[in-house]
Structure 1
Amino acid sequence: MTAPGKPDGCPTARTTSPPPQAKVAAVVGLLVAFELVSGLLQGAAPPLIPEVEKWQHLSTAQAQWFTTVQFFAAAVSVPAFGRLGDLYGHRRLVRVALGCVAVGTVLVALAPNLPVLLLGRALMGPLAALLPLEIGLVRDRLDVDGGRRAVGLLVGALTLGSLLGHALVGPLLSAVGGLRPTLAVLAALAVGCLVVSFLAIPESAVQATGRMDWAGAVLLAVALVTLLGTISRGTAWGWLSPRTLAAVALSCALLWWWARVQLSRPHALVDLRAVARRRAAPYYASGFVLGVVMMGGQGVAVSFLAASPGDEGYGFGLVTWQISVWGAIPHVMAFLGSLLCAGIAARIGYARTLLGAFALIAVGNAGLMAAHSTLPLFAVAYGAVGIGMGLALGGLPSVVVEGSTSDRTASAAAVYNNLKTLGGSVAGAVFAAVLATLVVGTTDTPTLTAYLTVWGLGIAVSVLAAGAQLLVRRSAWQRASAVEGAGRPAN
């Protein structure tokens, strides 16, 4: 007999007895600490690029690989780590991920040359796999409400850690006297997390049966690296150049081939039929949109804050420390939104919460357009975007995971995470193309229209995501009506 909510033919799951509730609370605390450090490591990387450039005597283009290599490694490792966690235990894979990150941070701190530095950054890719694995741990150890609060705390810790990493790495660099000591401090944090992971974390109560789809993992990795690599080089190659178009076509062909393989396998890396279900697909699509507005839009806003009204004719002419202060507003609001998400959803439901989240993002982007000449109002609008992002960050992983079968928890969260990352990559390329196309005369300075266009695109995709939540609500209402009608006695 098939488990409730599980399609026929799916493998059953192995189940062990859950630990006492008091121990679970302690475990959630440790996982929150891991996410705080994960966010700090990720947030500290971009501000360190200029120092890495000087340290390794790199060109500006070469220095960008300091973040790009980890980004590619994350895209490759997250689906594999998620499925391996479902099969062999989420705690085990959390430790493996932390081990990779610890080794990577140590290599980065001690790197004698660029190849070793990039190897270390690649080994840090599984940082992005921690959250899906941790969600898998808390789902089968807590009740529904406790799991939702735990996801909000984990996402909030990741958001806060990213903010702290970005804000504190500069003062840390000055305090410890250089780049290598700073990297050593970050490595010590990563190694400390690995040690702590062996103290008090119980294994998952539910584990899937079956085997790992290594061929599917390799094929997906090749497809994603091809696609993301093309996006990262699109501006340099030219978006309509034969090389770019050929690489995009190859990426699409590889993804199509991978999808065909997944649909034909009983133990696929990703359950595409579950992802494409009417109740699940809008949430995954909304994850892609969240990546567009969250990752793609941040750099645009920072550029606008730095632009000078006297030189470009728009912007606020802020210096670096002022940008850090004003730019922290959406991060702080996102942190608060992720913490409040579970409580709000308990009162009005996740569909309405997510509808409100993307409505806030749309309204906030409209506010950025309307208040582009008044800094306080611009900050208020930026804060509205941040609250919306926080609510979406806290809500989407919960509904994605709750809609998956118990033996696909981390896999479902990993697919959502990769779609969010892919949305940010695509948006970064599209927004960069807009800013490079709509320029002042023959210069490379973007016009005000370029920024307004980017925020307009943010409104458009947010409205689409809000519409997706309405579709979910309508589908739920129709099911409820059908059940109610079936239960009525015939006249």
Structure 2
Amino acid sequence: MSQAVTAPPPPRIGRLSIAALGVLALALGTLQSVVEPAIPLLQGELGVTPDEGALIGNTLLITGAVLTPVAGKLGDRYGGKRVLIRLMAVVAAGGLLAGVAPNLPVLLLGQVLQGAMVGALPLSFILVRKHLSAGESQVAIGVVIALFTGGGMVGTLIAGPIAELLSWHWMFALPTVVIIATTMAVARLMPHDPPAESDSGIDWPGVLLLSGTLLTFMLGLVTVTNGSLPPLAVGAVAVAVAALGTGWVAVERRALSPMVDLRMLAKPAMWHACVLTFVITVTAGMVIFLLPQLFAISGDGYGFGASTTDIGLFLLPGAVAGALSDSVGGVAARRFGPRAVVVVGAVVTAATLTALAAQHTAPWHLVLAKVLTAFAAGVGTTALLAGTATAVETKDIGIATSLLVVTRVIGVALGAQLGGAILGAGGDPVTGLPAESAFVTGFAVAGLVAALSLFVVRVTKLHVTKLRVTNKGVGA
């Protein structure tokens, strides 16, 4: 009588392995966040305009946007540990390249490579879920997420002291050294996880086309707004963006395993959530870029001439508020519904930015604005994410949430680039610095964009109400 042969359970991992993943997440969060308070410094050191400076943070976001739907698939196919180590090698190369960058193009290339860090979190989740029970996995995943968020706060605080005591190059080099060391620890402590069999391939054409579309659009926005391109070249950039975007859509519609299943966007609940997420994060991206610029500048009657260290301290309360908002957003969505959360957040954000456009004469004005807008944006996008996850079928949750995460990243990147474009276009012809009126315009435009989400909510109100009734009817 033959007995079925069962595969042995995967080995369990101990606290040291979880600690190594946690410290790696902390270092990655630090490396990701050192740029925000240091952008004014980097612009001065590299001799670039604000719209060019906005690219420094955006290139990392773009890489993250295109890798978000791919990282988990790679981990499932080839093993989480194997893919994590290789991605961290790419991140380390990017960090070291940024650490020795002599000019903007090299720094941007380093940031593109660093964007591979976005794959660390889903791959870490794969590892702990394969080697721990469900309950233990939840605890471990919570630790990793909390340390990544904490790393964002650490990076905000240490960017200034490192740049001022050593140089801006060390802002990238020091976290990268920690990443290399902790990756070696993970390689030693974490057992190998067997790859899973899969019939679906990786949509590499889709990855390349989306990357090319976003990068071409961002670079085109910079060159168009600073007036360095003739009209014919502007038209060529627009055609290139349209061609790449059209090619990406065509590839995604025909791919057997697309990186983004565009059929999901045909569902009203999905595209409503994507539009609202995009509007909210465009506003957030503008604020993220404009506030450090105003802190740093020392104009005639405006600005504060703050150092990178001071900027980090000014931005820290907003980083804390943003971290807290992620936990509040899901609770608020369950209690009041995503629509109510988005409406309140939009009203708060629009009112805050309108007030900031009129009154920005003290640092606390900017600090308070950062806290309010960061909390409102975080609560709103998290509520939409949670609401969408409960509105779609269980089998579509991964696709739906990936779409929203990609939308979130693209919105922040576009918002930051728009903020840079406004400052670049509003430069003083004598000093070359952005005029106060450019900041006023930037805050006013960001407030108008925030208010636009109220219009979107109004337009989509009937359908979402019907969706909720349907969900209640089936016991959702």
TM-score by length of 2: 0.75
Residue aligning to 1:161: 151
Residue type matched to 1:236 in 2?
N
Q: Which amino acid aligns with 1:452?
A: V
Task: Measure the CA separation in 2 of the matches of 1:221 and 1:405.
Answer: 29
Q: Partner of 1:280: helix, strand, or coil?
A: helix
Secondary structure in 1 aligned to 2:259?
coil
Please list the CA deviations of residues 333-368 of structure 1 after superposition, one character each: whole Å capped at 9, or x if unmatched: 212222433444444344444443334322322332
Equivalent-residue separation in structure 2 for 1:472 and 1:203 (angstroms): 45
Using the TM superposition, give the Cα deviation of residue 326 of structure 1 relative to its aligned residue in structure 2, in angstroms. Answer: 2.4
State the partner residue of 2:375: 387
Asked whether the equivalents of residues 135 and 410 of structure 1 are also in contact (C-alpha less than 8 Å), the reply is no
Q: Would you say 1:367 and 2:367 are equivalent positions? A: no
Distance 1:137 1:272 in 2: 29
Q: Which amino acid aligns with 1:188?
A: V
Asked whether the equivalents of residues 206 and 252 of structure 2 are also in contact (C-alpha less than 8 Å), the reply is: yes
2:278, 2:408 within 8 Å by CA — same for their partners in 1?
yes
The aligned residue for residue 248 of structure 1 is 238
Q: Which runs of 5+ in 1 are unaligned?
A: 1-15
Whether the 8 Å CA contact 1:330–1:382 is kept in 2: the answer is: yes
Q: Does 1:286 align with 2:276?
A: yes
Deviation at 1:101, TM superposition (A): 1.6
The Cα shift of 1:247 comes to 0.8
What SS is found at the alignment partner of 2:258? coil
**What is the aligned-residue identity percentage?**
23
Q: 2:179 aligns with which of 175, 179, 190?
A: 190
Match of 1:325 among 301, 309, 313: 313
Output the amino acid matched with 2:423. Answer: L
* 1:464 to 1:157, Cα distance in 2 relative to 1, 3 A: farther
Measured at CA, do residues 271 and 282 of structure 1 come closer, stay the same or move farther in structure 2, by a change above 3 Å?
A: same
Identify the residue that residue 295 of structure 1 maps to in structure 2. Answer: 285
Q: Which runs of 5+ in 2 are unaligned?
A: 1-6
Aligned partner of 1:423 in structure 2 is: 411
- Kept in 2, the 8 Å contact 1:329–1:386? The answer is no
- Between the aligned partners of 2:381 and 2:133, the Cα distance in structure 1 is 20
Q: Distance in 1 between matches of 2:474 and 2:389?
A: 29
d(CA) in 2 for partners of 1:267, 1:304: 45
Matched, 1:336 2:336: no
Q: Distance in 1 between matches of 2:448 and 2:346?
A: 10
Mapping for residues 351-362 of structure 1, pairs under 5 Å: 351-362=339-350
Q: 1:217 to 1:404 in 2, by over 3 A?
A: farther
Q: Is the 8 A contact 2:26 2:148 kept in 1?
A: yes
- For the pair 1:212 / 2:202, whether they are aligned, the reply is yes
263, 267, 280: which one aligns with 1:277: 267
Q: Which residue of 2 aligns with 1:348?
A: 336
SS of structure 2 residue aligned to 1:267: coil
Matched to 2:33, the amino acid is G
Whole-angstrom CA distance in 1 between matches of 2:369 and 2:380: 17
The alpha carbon displacement at 1:127 in A equals: 1.4
> Which residue number in structure 2 is paired with residue 124 of structure 1?
114
- Partner SS for 2:256: coil
**Residues 234 and 429, structure 1, Cα contact 8 Å, conserved in 2:** no
TM alignment of 1:429-440, pairs within 5 A: 429-438=417-426
Compute the displacement of 1:185 (Å): 2.9
Q: What secondary structure does 1:292 align onto?
A: helix
Pairs within 5 Å for 1:84-233: 84-85=74-75, 93-106=83-96, 121-131=111-121, 157-172=147-162, 184-198=173-187, 199=189, 209-233=199-223
Shift, 1:212, TM fit: 1.9
- More off after superposition, 133-142 vs 257-266: 133-142
Q: Residue 453 and residue 394 in structure 1: after superposition, are their counterparts in 2 closer, same or farther (change >3 A)?
A: same
Give the equivalent residue in structure 1 for 2:252.
262
Name the CA shift for 1:201/1:223 in 2 (closer, same or farther; >3 Å).
farther
Match among 448, 452, 456 for residue 444 of structure 2? 456
Give the C-alpha shift of residue 243 in structure 1. 1.3
Give me the whole-angstrom Cα distance separating, in 1, the residues matched to 2:433 and 2:173: 39
Aligned-partner residue type, residue 184 of structure 2: V
After superposition, give the CA deviation of every residue in 1:211-270 in whole Å (9 maximum; x if it has no partner).
222222233233233222222333334578321232122212221222123223332221
Aligned residue in 1 for 2:4: none
1:187 partner amino acid: T
Contact in 1 for aligned 2:39/2:292 (Cα 8 Å): no
Tell whether the 8 Å contact from 1:342 to 1:395 is kept in structure 2 after alignment.
yes
CA RMSD, Structure 1 to Structure 2 (Å): 4.8
After superposition, the Cα gap between the structure-2 partners of 1:60 and 1:406, relative to the gap in structure 1 and judged at 3 Å, is same
Task: After superposition, give the CA deviation of every residue in 1:90-133 in whole Å (9 maximum; x if it has no partner).
Answer: 56544432232234435555789999877655432201333455
Q: CA deviation at 1:271?
A: 0.4
Distance (whole Å) between structure 1 residues aligned to residue 62 and residue 371 of structure 2: 30
* Match for residue 42 of structure 1 among 32, 55, 79: 32
SS in 2 for 1:195: helix
* 2:201 alignment partner AA: R
State the SS of the aligned residue for 1:279. helix
Structure 2 counterpart of 1:12: none
Partners of 2:464 and 2:426 in 1: CA distance? 44
Measured in 1, the distance between the counterparts of 2:230 and 2:90 equals 38
CA distance in 2, matches of 1:394, 1:29: 27
Aligned-pair distance for 1:30?
Answer: 6.5
Residues 234 and 25 (structure 1), Cα distance of their counterparts in 2 relative to 1, 3 Å cut:
farther
**Quick one: which amino acid aligns to residue 447 of structure 2?**
I
Distance, in Å, in 1 between the alignment partners of 2:128 and 2:461 is 26
Post-superposition CA distance 1:279-307 (Å, at most 9, x none)? 11222223323432222222322233345
